[in-house]
C-alpha cells in the first residue's frame, strides 16, 4: 500500500529537522532518515501500529521511532501519515490534523 505524507506531516517533519539542526545538522539528517524509513513499514503492514489511545478509532494508528510518534490513518487504497510528534507533546482534540 502507498504511504502518503500529508502536507501537515511534512511540515512537522521539517520543523523537527530545523529544531535538531540548530545543535547538530548531521543528527537532524539522521533523525529524519530514521523516521521516514520507519514509516515505510506501515505500507506493507498497516495494522502493525497500535490504535492511538487519545482517539480510539480503528483506522488511526501509530508507530514509534523514539522519541517520536508517527500517526497515520488507514485509507482504502493508501496510508496517510497525519503527523509526527515528540511523545511528550499532546495531540489536538480533533482528528482534523492534516
CATH number of the CATH domain containing 11: 3.30.2310.20
Q: How far apart are CA 91 and CA 94, in angstroms?
A: 8
Residue 94 falls inside a structural domain: no
Residue 95 falls inside a structural domain: no
Residue 91 falls inside a structural domain: no
Q: What is the pLDDT of residues 28-52, one digit of tens each?
A: 999 999 999 999 999 999 999 999 9
Between CA 11 and CA 21, with CA 15 as vertex, the angle to 5 degrees is: 140
Residue 39 falls inside a structural domain: yes
Q: How far apart are CA 22 and CA 92, in angstroms?
A: 26
Residue 96 falls inside a structural domain: no
Q: How far apart are CA 12 and CA 84, in angstroms?
A: 6
The pTM score is: 0.90
Q: What is the domain count for the chain?
A: 1
78-86 and 68-74 strand pairing: antiparallel
Q: Distance of alpha carbon 11 from its chain centroid, rounded? A: 11
Owning domain of residue 26: 2-86
Q: pLDDT tens digits, the chain, 98 residues: what are they? A: 899 999 999 999 999 999 999 999 999 999 999 999 999 999 999 999 999 988 888 899 999 999 999 999 999 999 999 999 999 988 877 766 54
Residue 60 falls inside a structural domain: yes
Residue 63 falls inside a structural domain: yes
Amino acid at each position: 500500500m502507498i504511504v502518503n505524507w500529508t502536507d501537515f506531516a511534512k511540515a512537522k517533519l521539517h520543523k523537527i529537522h530545523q529544531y535538531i539542526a540548530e545543535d547538530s545538522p548531521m543528527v537532524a539528517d539522521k533523525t529524519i532518515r530514521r523516521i521516514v524509513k520507519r514509516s515505510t513499514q506501515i505500507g506493507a503492514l498497516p495494522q502493525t501500529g497500535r490504535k492511538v489511545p487519545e482517539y480510539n478509532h480503528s483506522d488511526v494508528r501509530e508507530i514509534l521511532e523514539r522519541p517520536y510518534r508517527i500517526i497515520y490513518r488507514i485509507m482504502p487504497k493508501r496510508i496517510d501519515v497525519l503527523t509526527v510528534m515528540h511523545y511528550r507533546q499532546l495531540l489536538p482534540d480533533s482528528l482534523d490534523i492534516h
